[in-house]
């Protein structure tokens, strides 16, 4: 069994103790991290390696940043999303590990919609779609996971009406997510949990966590070869309740060997 998790840690240096505690308790085999907000040399590599993980990092000062942690050796395949070589944002890291191709993805937020940030978000998602098409042709088992900054359906928000007009819930964003699924990818969380109330993000404002006013924007998309091995999936809400927590919490899936 291979347990894969994705977590937007919202500053790995601020959340280093949380990350170490969670790795020790949850014991995932592969972890995809987003929003590191640090350069590679600032990442707490030694502490993570001491827990038995290999580390691959694509860092950026102050913003963005993605990483892959794995108990197996890591071969880095892509440091950045193919087709966006001029993009200076650290948003995509693809590796081969534990017999799987996995990518840690931090898609653009896209707000405010009236600014250039929304077209940038859609362009990133279009490139991701095109890259996924190419990956499917390899027939590799792969997992494209991370913070997609997309609320796919009304079921994925406690109060969907509150997100009307937001880049996370705009029809264009949701259409891009559906395009990924129409390729034949499987939403690992939704496949196992069709019910309302499965959230991965709770804003720091207005007591959202206490009122469970959450949304699901962190996703694990599986190729058919990976989906055939899907045994279980879920969201670990525990870290969101810790003091000075990230506003995201880990989502995960388990694949049979």
**Is 147 in the active site?**
yes
Between CA 95 and CA 60 the distance in angstroms is: 18
Catalytic residue among 29, 147, 156, 166: 147
Angle of helix 171-182 versus helix 117-138 axis, rounded to 10:
0
CA dist 137 to 20, 131, 182, 183, 229, Å?
A: 37, 10, 15, 11, 19
What are the C-alpha distances in Å from 18 to residues 29, 199, 204, 219, 250? 17, 19, 17, 21, 12
Is 106 a known active-site residue? Answer: yes
Which of 53, 92, 106, 177 is labelled catalytic? 106
CB atoms within 10 A of CB 175: 12
The beta strands (E) that lie in the chain are given as 2-8, 30-34, 54-58, 66-70, 74-79, 92-97, 100-106, 142-147, 186-187, 218-222, 230-235, 251-255
Q: Would strands 100-106 and 142-147 be described as parallel, antiparallel, or unpaired?
A: parallel
Q: Do 36 and 66 form a contact (C-beta atoms < 8 A)? A: yes
Catalytic residue list: 106, 147
């Amino acid at each position: 069994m291979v347990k894969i998790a994705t977590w937007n840690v919202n500053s790995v240096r601020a959340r280093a103790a949380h990350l170490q505690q969670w790795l020790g308790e949850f014991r995932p085999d592969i972890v995809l991290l987003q929003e590191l907000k640090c350069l590679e040399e600032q990442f707490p590599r030694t502490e993570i390696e001491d827990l038995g993980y290999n580390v691959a990092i694509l860092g950026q000062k102050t913003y963005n940043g993605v990483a892959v942690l794995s108990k197996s050796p890591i071969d880095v395949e892509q440091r950045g999303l193919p087709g966006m070589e001029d993009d200076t944002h650290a948003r995509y890291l693809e590796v081969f590990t534990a017999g799987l191709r996995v990518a840690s993805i931090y898609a653009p937020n896209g707000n405010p919609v009236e600014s250039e940030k929304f077209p940038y978000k859609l362009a990133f998602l279009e490139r991701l779609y095109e890259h996924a098409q190419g990956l499917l042709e390899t027939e590799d088992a792969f997992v494209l996971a991370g913070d997609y900054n997309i609320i796919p359906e009304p079921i994925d928000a406690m109060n969907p009406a509150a997100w009307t007009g937001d880049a996370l819930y705009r029809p264009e964003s949701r259409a891009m997510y559906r395009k990924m699924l129409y390729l034949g990818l499987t939403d690992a969380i939704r496949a196992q949990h069709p019910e309302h109330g499965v959230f991965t993000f709770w804003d720091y404002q207005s007591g959202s966590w206490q009122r469970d006013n959450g949304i699901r924007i962190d996703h694990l998309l599986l190729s058919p070869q990976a989906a055939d091995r899907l045994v279980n999936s879920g969201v670990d809400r525990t870290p969101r309740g810790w003091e000075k927590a990230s506003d995201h919490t880990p989502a995960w899936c388990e694949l049979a060997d």
